[in-house]
Amino acid sequence: MDTLASPERTEEETEPALIELDSVEKVFKTGDVEYRALRGIDLTARAGEMVAIVGPSGSGKSTIMNMITGIDRPSAGTVVVDGRRIDEMSEEQLASWRGEHVGVVFQFFQLLPTLTALENAMLPMDFARRGSKGERAERARRNLELVGLGAQADKLPSELSGGEQQRVAIARSLATEPELIIGDEPTGNLDTETAGEMFELFRTLNAAGRTVMYVTHDLDLAGRADRVVTIRDGVVVAS
């Protein structure tokens, strides 16, 4: 008897989903005034994918990132990252989970000014109590070398350029070897050339197997991602 061959599965079907947002809404309240930042977002990202999120100011891009990192919680809908419902976690569980599994790079670097580049790059490991102090310092130095700042380890943030500070922030995001790197306008305060260098660092991390998702206003940098998701008025209008 003839047998029917199974249809070929597409890459989207074979690669596991690392991030799944289902009907996510977010309402911010100020007194009696409500603002609907997200209006039923459905968004999926596969493990190992690089995704750019674009859209006008106030469209909900950063709010989506806050959902994925557990910095904020949805008013409705579900947020699943690596098979876990992070919207159901307690604050303590979220802090522990985020420290182990997510590296976040912010627009304004958010380095502690009184700590050296090395000490800033060690912070997530210090909070997670990963290994001995010597082991933490060794890993932080490796991460600084990865982003091209091995020789600047003992400098304070004030002694570094904006691009160098962002490199420290990227090194810090790698401290606990997370599988997910989130960038919230990570090149927003950088000139075009330096922004391009930051993107190449993200591309290197992605090529090493990490999932990278970033918000950007730079359509050229967005266009270099595997996929571009466009947000407008709190909804996905293109992907």
Task: Name the pLDDT band for 106 (thresholds 50, 70, 90).
Answer: confident
Of 106-110, 154-158, 222-226, 235-239, the range with the lowest mean pLDDT is 106-110
Range of the domain at 68: 50-73+89-238
Question: How many structural domains comprise the chain?
Answer: 1
Report the distance separating Cα 59 and Cα 51, nearest Å: 17
Is residue 22 situated within a structural domain?
no
Backbone angles phi, psi at 159, to 5 degrees: -95, 5
The 3-state DSSP class for residue 76 equals: strand
Q: How many H helices and E strands in the chain?
A: 8, 10
Is residue 30 situated within a structural domain?
no
User: What pLDDT, in 10s, does the model give residues 116-149?
Assistant: 999 999 998 988 888 889 999 999 999 999 899 9
Q: Left (φ > 0), alpha (ψ -120 to 50) or beta: where does 131 sit?
A: left
Q: Does residue 1 register a pLDDT over 80?
A: no
Give residue 115's pLDDT.
Answer: 96
CATH at 143: 3.40.50.300
Q: What angle do CA 19, 24, 29 make, to 5 degrees?
A: 130
- Bridge partners, residue 238, by sequence: 230
Is residue 117 situated within a structural domain?
yes
Is residue 8 situated within a structural domain?
no
* Mean pLDDT, residues 58-80 taken together: 94
Is residue 2 situated within a structural domain?
no
Is residue 214 situated within a structural domain?
yes
Residue 178: count of CB within 10 angstroms of its CB:
19
- Bridge partners, residue 213, by sequence: 51, 182
**Which token pair is 60?**
């909900």
User: What pLDDT, in 10s, does the model give residues 3-24?
Assistant: 434 344 444 445 678 999 999 9
Is residue 25 situated within a structural domain?
no
Is residue 146 situated within a structural domain?
yes
Give residue 59's pLDDT.
Answer: 92
Instruction: Tell me which residue of 175, 230, 177, 168 sits closest to 201, measured CA to CA.
Output: 168
Backbone angles phi, psi at 195, to 5 degrees: -60, -40
User: What pLDDT, in 10s, does the model give residues 151-162?
Assistant: 999 999 999 998
Q: Does residue 66 register a pLDDT over 90?
A: yes
User: What pLDDT, in 10s, does the model give residues 173-204?
Assistant: 999 889 999 998 888 888 888 888 888 889 99
Give residue 23's pLDDT.
Answer: 97
